[in-house]
């Protein structure tokens, strides 16, 4: 790593080290991984003042660079946020080790006993933007699943991420695990990202964490498989048979609890028969809560709405805005979601089992919900512990990506001298 000028050579060296570490990690004892994560948590807490000071340098850099207040907020670390990082590391430490788990096993008449056993995936590349806590979260989850990881954080969090990374490596050392298990790209040069996306020999999966710009770039350019979602264009369909009380609670929560997360509702589809009743009530409540409702022609006469344009369908506002539209029935909702959705999370509010079943079988979002707030689209709320992200692709991992989704499997076949006839 001496020659920072030669990015491809530097990245190839990082990749080769990661591959070697992954080979060792594949059979690392569970308790060593747990010890490493707890020791890393201790180190982060012990060095919190240093980390906060480094973060101040990052914040100054970010302000000079003209980062938005929202971006600066994501970048900022204080003692409370460092407590959060420490708690996250300890929570992953306490999770069950997925590696070695027997997923399923069975006997064959030939006398063979066959087991499908969980194994690490190998080497994960994580490319992220300003949040320095991703350094700890992603490093911890990858290690838990026995994977080596190459972290490439945003230039904004360079100093704070660097110190958190040092703490993770201190944890690895304390547990006798290879330090190369968690590496960090030691340059702000963007060429390093381009290299990572093409390193199919050294990286098994890339996980991008950040805005649409970053994720779109990774999805377009990567030769390495990617676990990601580009957007969460989350729809809620309020069916004719919706329970009004549940609908009111769920719609308000799904839109307004937090608007900046990928599970926030972005489009409300309302059964035509509800236009003057529950539908109007829902829109009035959203308006009263401060939401700008971009309504289609049929709903635009409702007070407080603004007329929707073509751009409002399939739009991810991530703000106090929602599109709203009347549809004829569940099939109308399905057709709209197929056209404008992003296969992330979509919900139906109904007491009608047949309508729910139709919605579930005819749509193919990673997460489909009934009578529940789409804000539950989250690894923690699914009981997976931490998540490294949410994936909308259909290959390998889908929905919240936790430690278990960062694994593969192999078959163990036991015989007693069995031969094939």
Residue 74 CB contacts under 8 Å (≥ 6 apart), including other chains: 129, 130, 131
* CA 94 to centroid of chain Cα atoms: 20
Pairing of strands 306-307, 234-238: unpaired
Q: How far is the CB of 214 from a second copy (least distance, A)?
A: 20
Beta bridge partners of 306: 294
Q: Least distance from C-beta 265 to a second copy, angstroms?
A: 12
Spatial separation of the C-alpha atoms in residues 14 and 32, rounded to whole Å: 23
Query: Looking at beta carbons only, is 173 or 246 nearer to a second copy?
Result: 246
Q: How far is the CB of 257 from a second copy (least distance, A)?
A: 6
CB of 207 within 8 A of CB of 226? yes
Give burial (CB, 10 Å; 0-12/13-18/19+) of 211.
Answer: middle
- Can you give the binding site for a second copy, defined by CB under 8 A? 23, 26-27, 100, 106, 108, 110, 112, 114, 117, 119, 121-122, 204-205, 223, 225, 243, 245-246, 249-250, 252-254, 257, 338, 360-362, 364-373, 375-376, 381-383, 394-396, 398-399, 408-420
Query: What's the CA gap between 3 and 273, in Å, rounded?
Result: 68
Closest CB 325 distance from a second copy, rounded Å: 21
Residue closer to a second copy (CB basis): 24 or 189: 24
When the beta carbons of 55 and 373 are compared against a second copy, the nearer one is 373
Alpha helix ranges (H) inside 176-243 = 191-198, 212-221
CB of 361 to a second copy, least distance (A): 4
Residues sharing a CB contact under 8 Å with residue 344, sequence separation 6 or more, in sequence order: 229, 231, 232, 233, 234, 262, 263, 365, 366, 367, 377, 390, 392
Of residues 92 and 391, the one with the C-beta less far from a second copy: 391
| Least separation in angstroms between CB 254 and a second copy | 8
Quick one: which H or E segment has residue 286? helix 278-288
**C-beta closer to a second copy: residue 62 or 341:** 341
Nearer to a second copy, 108 or 288 (CB): 108
């Amino acid at each position: 790593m001496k020659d920072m000028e030669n990015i491809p050579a530097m990245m190839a060296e990082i990749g080769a080290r990661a591959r070697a570490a992954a080979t060792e990690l594949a059979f690392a004892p569970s308790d060593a991984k747990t010890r490493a994560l707890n020791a890393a948590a201790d180190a982060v807490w012990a060095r919190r003042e240093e980390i906060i000071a480094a973060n101040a340098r990052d914040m100054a850099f970010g302000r000079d660079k003209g980062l938005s207040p929202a971006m600066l907020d994501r970048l900022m670390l204080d003692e409370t946020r460092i407590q959060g990082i420490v708690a996250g590391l300890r929570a992953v430490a306490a999770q069950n080790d997925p590696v070695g788990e027997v997923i399923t096993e069975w006997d064959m008449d030939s006398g063979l006993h066959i087991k499908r056993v969980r194994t690490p995936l190998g080497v994960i590349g994580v490319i992220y933007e300003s949040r320095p806590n991703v350094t700890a979260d992603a490093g911890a989850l990858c290690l838990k699943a026995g994977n080596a990881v190459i972290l490439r954080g945003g230039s904004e969090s360079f100093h704070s991420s660097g110190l958190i990374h040092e703490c993770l490596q201190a944890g690895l050392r304390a547990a006798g695990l290879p330090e190369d298990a968690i590496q960090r790209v030691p340059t702000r040069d963007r060429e390093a990202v381009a290299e990572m996306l093409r390193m199919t020999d050294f990286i098994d999966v890339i996980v991008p964490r950040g805005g649409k710009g970053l994720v779109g770039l990774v999805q377009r350019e990567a030769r390495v498989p990617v676990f990601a979602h580009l957007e969460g264009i989350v729809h809620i369909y309020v069916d004719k048979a919706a329970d009004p009380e549940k609908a009111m609670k769920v719609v308000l929560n799904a839109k307004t609890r937090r608007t900046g997360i990928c599970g926030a509702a972005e489009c409300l589809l309302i059964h035509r028969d509800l236009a003057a009743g529950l539908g109007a009530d829902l829109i009035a409540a959203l308006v009263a809560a401060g939401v700008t409702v971009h309504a289609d022609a049929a709903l635009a006469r409702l007070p407080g709405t603004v007329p929707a344009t073509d751009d409002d369908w399939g739009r991810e506002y991530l703000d106090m805005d929602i599109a709203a539209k009347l549809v004829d029935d569940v099939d109308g909702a399905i057709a709209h979601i197929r056209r404008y959705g992003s296969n992330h999370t979509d919900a139906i509010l109904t007491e009608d089992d047949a309508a729910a079943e139709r919605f579930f079988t005819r749509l193919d979002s990673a997460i489909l919900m009934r009578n529940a707030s789409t804000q539950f689209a989250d690894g923690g709320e699914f009981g997976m512990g931490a998540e490294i992200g949410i994936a909308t692709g259909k290959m390998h991992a889908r929905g919240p990506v936790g430690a278990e989704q960062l694994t593969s499997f192999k078959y163990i076949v036991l015989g007693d001298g069995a031969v094939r006839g």
